[in-house]
């Protein structure tokens, strides 16, 4: 699958470097849905890492002038720097399995010269259904419609 995200060259370079460093991660949330063709708009790209202590994350950040900001009190860790500010670190995706379990529920999405793993639409739908927040209920019809359209085209969605 090939997709376009409205990312700058440096933001794409960060993702490419994560892949080059062999960091285990996946794009989740509405950005993952958009990568699969769902008509979603979001301001950030949610990244779920197998291990946030993976040294490849810090190497990728340094490559684009970003920094790791550790969690403080109830605030999760985050990235700082002009070229990584659109990325959010996701520590848990509610309503679905662990990172390891969900790794099998990803699709490879081509971003120019490299690919990233994106959580499959049916798993995004499962998480948003479980959370049942107003903002999730608002996007569920569009996500379900996109999943149905993808499945009718022979896509990998199984919901």
> Pseudo-torsion of CA 144, 145, 149, 154, nearest 10°?
10
Task: Give domain status of residue 126, yes or no.
Answer: yes
Q: Does some domain include residue 133?
A: yes
For 47, other C-beta atoms within 10 Å of its C-beta total 25
- pTM of structure: 0.91
pLDDT tens digit string along 3-51?
556 788 999 999 999 999 999 999 999 999 999 989 988 889 999 999 9
> What CATH number is given to the structural domain containing 137?
3.30.460.40
Residue 128 in domain: yes
The answer to whether position 159 is within a domain reads no
Which residue segment(s) compose the domain that 36 sits in?
A: 9-152
97-116: pLDDT as tens digits: 999 999 999 999 999 899 99
């Amino acid at each position: 699958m090939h997709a376009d995200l409205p990312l700058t060259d440096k933001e794409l370079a960060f993702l490419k470097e994560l892949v080059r460093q062999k960091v285990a991660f996946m794009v989740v949330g509405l950005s993952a849905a958009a990568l699969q063709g769902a008509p979603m708009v979001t301001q950030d790209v949610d990244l779920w890492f197998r291990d946030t202590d993976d040294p490849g994350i810090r190497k990728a950040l340094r490559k684009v002038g970003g920094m790791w900001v550790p969690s403080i009190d109830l605030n999760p860790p985050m990235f700082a720097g002009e070229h990584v500010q659109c990325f959010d670190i996701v520590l848990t995706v509610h309503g679905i399995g662990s990172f390891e379990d969900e790794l099998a529920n990803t699709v490879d999405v081509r971003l120019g010269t490299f690919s990233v793993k994106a959580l499959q639409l049916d798993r995004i739908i499962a998480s948003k259904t479980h959370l049942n927040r107003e903002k999730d209920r608002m996007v569920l019809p569009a996500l379900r419609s996109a999943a149905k359209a993808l499945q009718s085209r022979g896509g990998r969605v199984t919901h």
